[in-house]
Amino acid sequence: MTPTPEELRAAYALEDRTTPRVRMNFVESADGAVTLDGRSGPLGGGTDRAVMQTLRTLSDVVVIGAGTVRVEGYGGIDLSGEDAAWRRAHGLAEQPRLAVVSGDLGLEPGDSVFTEAAQRPLLVTHAGAPADRRRALAAVADVLVCGEASVDLRAMLAELAAQGLRQVLCEGGPHLFGALLEEDLVDEVCVTIAPRFVGGASGRIVAGAREADRPFALAGLLTDNEGFVFLRYAAR
């Protein structure tokens, strides 16, 4: 049976909003492919999209890598009236912040991730990023400089927490997940398993990291009428 919005909020509820937390959210095929025709979106279904909206509703900030913004065509985060009302009722801003992580600042001020944002996004980069790109993008986003020659993810999370953005939802991509996992900064992983087998050379949800063995425990499991499985893992 497909979960209701109330059941999804209960299934992914946070015990404590004051303790900083990093949640990852990914979809993959039953044989582990993270994309179909180069994008992750086509792997999902209706309940998967509802889970994504639920996780966004529960978060303070949604973090996304610039590569995934470009590939997936990200627009701004804009929760529905019901989700925004739930957030207001729980003392939260109507919309979570959006933070884009980019080392080379290969984005444009006119990109939809900036122009369609419900509120001004954050842009996380490092001190060595091109100064002209930083000035151009500062017109459409609040720039956070974290690190000298590369983005310091631990410093990024500390800065977000200092701004009251403690509940972090990261929607990828795989290289950002790999970097966070390598630094042991991931507290929870939410994975949707799509009922399809893709084959080919598609990558996995983790990429670019040295081999690591991070133990997680199964914290939740849901299914829907379309055959999707929704797994929630918590770091041990």
Using alpha carbons, select from 200, 153, 197, 225 the residue that is nearest to residue 28: 197
pLDDT value at residue 2: 81
| Dist. CA 78–CA 53, nearest whole Å | 9
The dihedral region occupied by 223, where left means phi > 0, alpha psi between -120 and 50, and beta the remainder, is: beta
Distance between CA atoms of 79 and 84, rounded to whole angstroms?
Answer: 6
Q: Which domains does the chain have, with CATH numbers?
A: 19-235 (3.40.430.10)
Token digits for 115?
């122009």
Query: Exposed, middle or buried, 208 (CB in 10 Å: 0-12/13-18/19+)?
Result: middle
pLDDT at 172: 87
Quick one: pLDDT at residue 96? 96
- According to DSSP, residue 7 is labeled H
Low-confidence ranges of the chain (pLDDT < 50): none
Nearest to 234 by CA among 216, 212, 214: 216
Residue whose C-alpha is closest to residue 76's, from 94, 92, 99: 99
CA–CA separation, 177 and 170 (whole Å): 8
Q: What is the DSSP letter of 42?
A: G
